[in-house]
Chains A and B, each alone.
Chain A
Amino acid sequence: MRPLALAGLAPYLRFARVTLLKLMAYRMRFVTGIATYAIFVGGQWFIWKAIYAQRGAEAEIGGLAFAQLTTYLAVGYIARSAYFTNLDSEIATRFQSGDVALDLLKPLDPLGQWLAQAVGECAFRLLFFALPMACVLVPVFGVLPPAGDGWWQFPLLFLLAFLINHELNVAAGIACFFLEDITALTSLKRNLLMLLSGLLVPLHFLPEWLAAALVWLPFAAIGYWPVLAYVGELGAHGHPDIVMVLAISLGWLALLHFGNRCFWSLARARLEVQGG
């Protein structure tokens, strides 16, 4: 049984490999990508440094000391450099150019194909973005090693972050089918996610009513929970424990995946590709 199952995976693996190779062609982006993230972290680092300095050396804000908050921000951005994919605009481009017809011809599940592409991009990003970025950010900002159970909780939640982010990407990609210019929608989604996922600031730093609502949304599973696990805060300071977080994340993943299946068949039914 086993070889057969693997053989069924082979065409999907090929998509992952091709995406990886395609991205290797643009090397200049490593440098600019790392610079961008260093600027993001740096900008906040200076402001938080001033705020903590006013409160004294031992100060904690929201249960986090300055070094922990720095770690939260840096690890959040490093993780984002890996789970972030451009699949939304890629799907949208295929819709607009009509190439999506080719996807329909293949005896493969398009949603599976997209996931494989995202895995390829994520593998590339882990190796060529996240790793060098960690090499730069960790010494520069004094990032701490994972605390408490973070060493196993973080990778697990990172995997869920990647999957949930991917489902959101697919949803946005299909939604672009109904628009002309996709850059605005993808940019809107990206900016909204940065705040709602807790990338810019830990969610519990936001006003209480907002934080209380945001932890129940799928976005928290992308940025907030994995990094909070990394700094060892899950189950401490009134934060939910790992079981609860896993339950929320898995629930959202299932819901989003099912939603995307419906959304995709809806778009497919409306799809009209002109020949030529």
Chain B
Amino acid sequence: MRIALLFVITYLKRRLAYRGDLLVQMLDELLRGLIALAMLQVYASKTDRLAGYSPDALLFVLGFSLVPISLFHCLCGNLYQFNARYILDGNLDRILLRPYPVFWQVCFDRLAIEDLSGTILGCALMAIAALRMPDFAWTPLHLAGLAVMLLSSTMVVIGVFKSFAALGFWFDDRVGMMPPVYNLMEFGRWPTELYAPWLKLFITCVIPFAFAGFLPASVFVGGESWPLLASPVVGVAALAVGSLLWRLGLARYNSTGS
């Protein structure tokens, strides 16, 4: 734990040396949220109900979905470039020399605190949406449930990306499968009823991004309540698969040798 703290502090010092970068990165994270918001406004201006959900309900779902993504960017943003930076450029060798779990080191190599701006934006949107909905239950139990759902969503996102980062041990390409998988998250933001059955099945069971946005969030805005139990299970399962693949991949790792 002490070592983890040291990693974090060193990293923060390094980051604060370049405040311009920090600002640009923060703007970028906010912009992604704002673009999603703009798209929602466009859709809402053309219809008052999407798959039975009001614009306010969708705003709540959108705000919710920004939180796990932003936490992922902040904690594990490095996974996105794991192939290029660690496997192909050989940075993994440096990390393997240290007696500390590889996964944590990769994460601590780049903690993007500025990306927490997305969490703040997401929470703000959720609050705005909830205030506009008269029947939103503001009980402590409800809010605790919301926190658990946010946590499981984050686990889903991290688990999926850990799995795909681990696939980099088998396929050495600079970008790999990351961009399409990342963009797949967009599907998780909207009511699953919109999609063709095969796609619905795909984003709930194969790459479960529906559990990183719409399904757990819809519980609070009048959707079905089964995701309340299913989400934590899927979150744990996603993390387990990710860790398993990570272990298997690391075991077969050969350095690039440079």
Give A residues with C-beta under 8 Å from B.
26, 28-29, 32-33, 35-36, 39-40, 42-43, 46-47, 49-51, 54-55, 61, 178-181, 184-185, 187-188, 191-192, 194-195, 200-201, 205-207
A145 to B9, CA, bound (A): 57
Give chain A residues whose Cβ lies under 8 Å from the Cβ of B38. 195, 206
| Chain B min CB distance to A177 (Å) | 12
B173 lies within 8 A of A28 (CB): yes
With A39-B184, A201-B42 in contact, do A194 and B51 touch (Cβ < 8 Å)? no
| Chain A min CB distance to B14 (Å) | 10
With A26-B174, A32-B176 in contact, do A184 and B24 touch (Cβ < 8 Å)? yes
24 interchain pairs (CB within 8 A)?
Answer: A26-B173, A28-B173, A32-B179, A33-B179, A36-B180, A39-B187, A40-B186, A42-B199, A43-B183, A46-B196, A47-B50, A55-B47, A179-B20, A181-B18, A184-B25, A184-B28, A185-B24, A187-B28, A188-B31, A194-B35, A195-B35, A205-B42, A205-B45, A206-B42
B interface SS class: helix
Partner of B47, one of A51, A179, A194: A51
Q: Scan residues 16-32 of chain B and give those whose CB is less than 8 A from a CB of chain A.
A: 18, 20-21, 24-25, 27-28, 31-32
| Chain B min CB distance to A38 (Å) | 8
A interface SS class: helix
Give chain B residues whose Cβ lies under 8 Å from the Cβ of A200. 35, 39
With A46-B194, A184-B25, A194-B35 in contact, do A51 and B43 touch (Cβ < 8 Å)? yes
| Chain B min CB distance to A27 (Å) | 9
A28 to B21, CA, bound (A): 31
B205 close to A (CB within 8 Å): no
Give chain B residues whose Cβ lies under 8 Å from the Cβ of A28. 171, 173, 175-176
Give chain B residues whose Cβ lies under 8 Å from the Cβ of A33. 179
| Chain A min CB distance to B249 (Å) | 17
A54 to B38, CA, bound (A): 21
With A47-B43, A179-B20, A188-B27 in contact, do A29 and B50 touch (Cβ < 8 Å)? no
Give chain B residues whose Cβ lies under 8 Å from the Cβ of A195. 35, 38
B173 lies within 8 A of A191 (CB): no
B50 lies within 8 A of A50 (CB): yes
Partner of A179, one of B21, B28, B183: B21
B179 lies within 8 A of A61 (CB): no
A43 lies within 8 A of B187 (CB): yes
B132 close to A (CB within 8 Å): no
A50 lies within 8 A of B184 (CB): no
- Taking A36-B180, A51-B47, A187-B28 as given, write out 6 further A-B residue pairs in contact, using a Cβ cutoff of 8 Å, ordered by the A residue number: A26-B173, A54-B47, A61-B46, A179-B24, A180-B21, A195-B35
A194 to B38, CA, bound (A): 12
Number of A-B contacts (CB under 8 A): 94
Partner of B45, one of A42, A55, A207: A207
| Chain B min CB distance to A198 (Å) | 12
A49 to B173, CA, bound (A): 36
6 tightest A-B contacts by CB?
A35-B180, A184-B25, A188-B28, A28-B173, A184-B24, A36-B180
Give chain A residues whose Cβ lies under 8 Å from the Cβ of B187. 39, 42-43
B190 close to A (CB within 8 Å): yes
| Chain A min CB distance to B67 (Å) | 19
A184 lies within 8 A of B179 (CB): no
B190 lies within 8 A of A29 (CB): no
A187 to B182, CA, bound (A): 14
| Chain B min CB distance to A172 (Å) | 11
Give chain B residues whose Cβ lies under 8 Å from the Cβ of A36. 179-180, 183
A48 to B175, CA, bound (A): 30
Give chain A residues whose Cβ lies under 8 Å from the Cβ of B46. 51, 61, 205
A49 to B191, CA, bound (A): 13
| Chain B min CB distance to A169 (Å) | 17
B254 close to A (CB within 8 Å): no
A191 lies within 8 A of B176 (CB): no
Give chain A residues whose Cβ lies under 8 Å from the Cβ of B253. none
Give chain A residues whose Cβ lies under 8 Å from the Cβ of B104. none
Give chain A residues whose Cβ lies under 8 Å from the Cβ of B18. 179-181
| Chain A min CB distance to B137 (Å) | 28
B186 lies within 8 A of A51 (CB): no
Partner of B190, one of A40, A47, A191: A47
